[in-house]
Amino acid sequence: MRRLFLIAGLMTALGLAVVAASAFAPANFAGNWSLDKSKSQGLDPRMQNAESVTWAITQDDKQISIDSKVVAGAPPAGGPGGGGGGGMGGGRGPAGPRVFSLDGKEATAEALGGTNTTKSTWSADGKTLELSAVRAGSRDGNEFKFTTVEKLSLSGDGKVLTDVRHNEGPRGAMDSTLVFNKQ
């Protein structure tokens, strides 16, 4: 009888350890994602008028990379004619994918007349990843600073990615929520 209780106790402890370990595994955002404009809010005009907006995310234990592609749609009324990507290399930003280290340390690099400082922070439960980026410098004698804070989270079934973001720059602040569906 003692042996039965001992075995049952060990099995319970092992089961709790497995559950605890999986509960703190960070979310994995890797995959190809397509913006759902009907569920998103506060989109900038470029995204709102785009034919499509997609993210290709790669992630491992050390970093996350987000490669954004915007395929231009019809230009806004009274705006200039549209092209394949708004003059940004077919939709990709001029600097390529955004890459964040997942070690929680701040990283700074030289970027287009200034510096770009990035940092990522996991929530305590590992379900939300906060990405922050500050780009500062000087162009044509004018100082500039752009700050972006994003909070990425997945739906329970892993098929919907939500990016709640706050941007601040010389033109003011902007809040938006981008909702992506897994492709």
What digits encode the pLDDT tens for the residues 3-59?
A: 655 565 656 655 554 444 445 689 999 999 999 999 999 999 999 999 999 999 999
Q: Say yes or no to pLDDT of 137 above 80.
A: yes
For 25, the 3-state DSSP assignment is coil
Q: Which residues does residue 114 pair with via DSSP β-bridges, in sequence order? A: 137
- Report the pLDDT value the prediction gives residue 107, as an integer from 0 to 100: 93
C-alpha distances (whole Å) from 68 to each of 71, 89, 90, 162 are: 10, 12, 11, 15
Q: Is the pTM of this model over 0.85?
A: no
* Residue 55 and residue 68 in contact, taking contact as beta carbons nearer than 8 Å: yes
Could you give the CA distance from residue 164 to residue 147 in angstroms, rounded to a whole number?
Answer: 14
For 16, the 3-state DSSP assignment is helix
Write down the residue that tokens 């033109």 correspond to.
171
Q: At 66, which amino acid appears?
A: I
Spatial CB neighbours of 12, under 8 Å, sequence gap ≥ 6: none
